[in-house]
Structure 1
Amino acid sequence: MATWFVTGASRGIGAEIARAALARGNDVVVAVRNPERVPDDLKKSARVYAVPLDVTDNNSIPAAVDAAVERFGGIDVLVNNAGRGLLGALEEVTDAEARSLFDLNVFGLINVTRAVLPGMRKQGAGKLVHLGSRSGFEGEPGVSLYSASKFAVAGISEALSVELAPFGIQSMVVEPGVFRTDFLDSSSLSVAAHRMTEYDGTPAHVTLDWIDEANHAQLGDPVKGAALIVEAASAAKLPTHLYVGRDTLERLDVKYQQVQADLAPWREKSAATAHDDAA
């Protein structure tokens, strides 16, 4: 049995991860902006503890972590799930919109991780599970800033998997595709306030217009996806990346092909940029 700390667990994939972890006999801390919104089935369990947490409020993070440690004695698995999306061509997105997105998706994750690490280092063990995205290994039109935030999550997680290994702490980034949750609702997904007609009919707005037909009709089953995430996080050794969803696997194949196509004509010239005296 382990203690899980799951951010953004009041609904969607976060709530399903909490349920799956609970079903495996773990204690679960659900860290949410409003504990009143935690689903009733989670509230009723004596092994679930809801704590208020806004990951963009640095002052609330230590209190939430301290409350979890006081209740269960420590945190074994941190799931950085809190986040949201942002739609719009890069030119349409304001600086304020971009910074607000990064405050949640990137800096919130960084600051919660920082708060949990001292306890994990002290106990000589711990697991970090960061919710990235399919858009975190492939930049997609209409979601450039969201992709950028999830590329950042992947980079952070990869670095931490090596950086924290001497302390017995593992790190994994989960890169899911589209799952049938509320993520495409306005409560989780923002659209750039300024829409430019110049982008109508281009890939950026095709993505924007796709949302209405895709919402609540996504391919992935969040219950199955969460079960896989919890299974992987419960293993003795975490994968560095956990790719979740049929669409993620399809796009990963496309990414591999793109890398090879970009590399082939330039490989020799790239290698030739070394100093002539290099071994």
Structure 2
Amino acid sequence: MTEKENMTEKKVWFITGAGRGMGTDIAKAALAAGHAVVATGRNPERVAQAVGESEDLLAVKLDVTDSNDAADAIQAAVDRFGRIDVIVNNAGNFYAGFFEEITPEDFRTQIETTMFGPMNVTRAALPVLRAQRSGLVVTISSTAGIAGGEFLTAYAASKFGVEGWAESLAPEIAPFGIRTMIVEPGFFRTELLTPESTSYAASTIEDYAERTEQTVTAWQGMNGQQGGDPAKLADTLIQLAELDEPPLRFAAGADAVGVFETRAKQLQDQADAHRELSSHLAHDDA
């Protein structure tokens, strides 16, 4: 049996941002479950070192902001394994700060990585998945894609964008046997709040100075103390990917469930608050 024929016995996972953090955990979990993994990152040597040696591992260079890189990485996956079954859009970073203090360049960089990045990878992968008439596109979003908050304007904007894109993509590709799943983690003990992943806007406006100092201090103190276990989330994603009907959204963590519930109540309350006024906006002849 050739290597490509053997792929009918296992799934092929294509994971972005696999050089560290949650991406590494997902890659390890997929390998442990007996799947093949295409683990990608800007430095493939670092990716291979982080994930560990395996005959079922292919480490590939991928900068998700580069559409040519995305196309090349997808082709490398198909050349090696013959197919792709699960795409995990995980690569990300975090530009934090008050909106007035985040530079336009940093705001755009945030959007390029965490919104356009998943789009670049998925656009490159969809022809393969359509030809197979199967596949699952998993996008790691955030509770910041459900509810915004101060210091999150750039990050939440990108995650709200990802949520709308993935939800709208779902019915477009469902007729081809392709599913989408949006994962909204709460606070997990990943590397998102490390200096390597998080960039804080320079404090330049006195009106925000005290709140900036308090927020940065609190978040830096939270790094490494988050309650969620990324290895457990990785194992859970493997289980969800096996379902015939994966959920459109998955609240990852008890805190994420709380955000979902609070947001649902807020929307209902907002709908009720001015229901009569909202309901009298039609043309008189309608």
TM over 0.5: yes
Secondary structure of 2:284's counterpart equals: coil
In the alignment, which residue of structure 2 is the partner of 1:162? Answer: 171
State the 1:106 CA deviation. Answer: 1.0
Question: In the alignment, residue 244 of structure 1 is paired with which amino acid?
Answer: A
Secondary structure of 1:38's counterpart equals: helix
Matches within 5 A, 1:1-279: 1-38=10-47, 40=49, 42-202=51-211, 206-278=214-286
| Cα distance in structure 2, aligned partners of 1:206 and 1:235 | 43
> Structure 1 residues 195 and 231 mapped into 2: Cα distance closer, same or farther (>3 Å)?
farther
| Cα distance in structure 2, aligned partners of 1:146 and 1:195 | 20
> Structure 1 residues 200 and 193 mapped into 2: Cα distance closer, same or farther (>3 Å)?
closer
| Cα distance in structure 2, aligned partners of 1:205 and 1:160 | 40
Secondary structure of 2:274's counterpart equals: helix
State the 1:77 CA deviation. Answer: 0.6
2:24·2:50 contact (CA, 8 Å) conserved in 1?
A: no
1:11·1:39 contact (CA, 8 Å) conserved in 2?
A: no
State the 1:71 CA deviation. Answer: 0.3
State the 1:40 CA deviation. Answer: 3.7
Mean Cα deviation higher: 119-128 or 265-274: 265-274
State the 1:41 CA deviation. Answer: 6.7
Normalised TM-score (structure 1): 0.95
2:203·2:209 contact (CA, 8 Å) conserved in 1?
A: no
Question: In the alignment, residue 223 of structure 2 is paired with which amino acid?
Answer: N
State the 1:108 CA deviation. Answer: 1.3
In the alignment, which residue of structure 1 is the partner of 2:6? Answer: none
| Cα distance in structure 2, aligned partners of 1:78 and 1:246 | 25
> Structure 1 residues 58 and 89 mapped into 2: Cα distance closer, same or farther (>3 Å)?
same
Q: Any unmatched runs of 5+ in structure 2?
A: 1-9
Question: Could you tell me the percent identity over the aligned residues?
Answer: 43
2:166·2:182 contact (CA, 8 Å) conserved in 1?
A: yes
Could you give the per-residue CA deviations for residues 165-198 of structure 1, whole angstroms, max 9, x where no partner exists?
1111111110001111111011111111344231
| Cα distance in structure 2, aligned partners of 1:62 and 1:12 | 24
Mean Cα deviation higher: 267-276 or 87-96: 267-276
| Cα distance in structure 1, aligned partners of 2:157 and 2:46 | 30
Aligned residues: 277
Could you give the per-residue CA deviations for residues 178-225 of structure 1, whole angstroms, max 9, x where no partner exists?
1111110111111113442311344x6543331111000011111111
Report the aligned-residue RMSD.
Answer: 1.5
Could you give the per-residue CA deviations for residues 97-124 of structure 1, whole angstroms, max 9, x where no partner exists?
0111111111111111000000100111
Secondary structure of 1:184's counterpart equals: coil
Question: In the alignment, residue 235 of structure 2 is paired with which amino acid?
Answer: A
Secondary structure of 1:59's counterpart equals: helix
Mean Cα deviation higher: 118-127 or 36-45: 36-45
In the alignment, which residue of structure 1 is the partner of 2:7? Answer: none
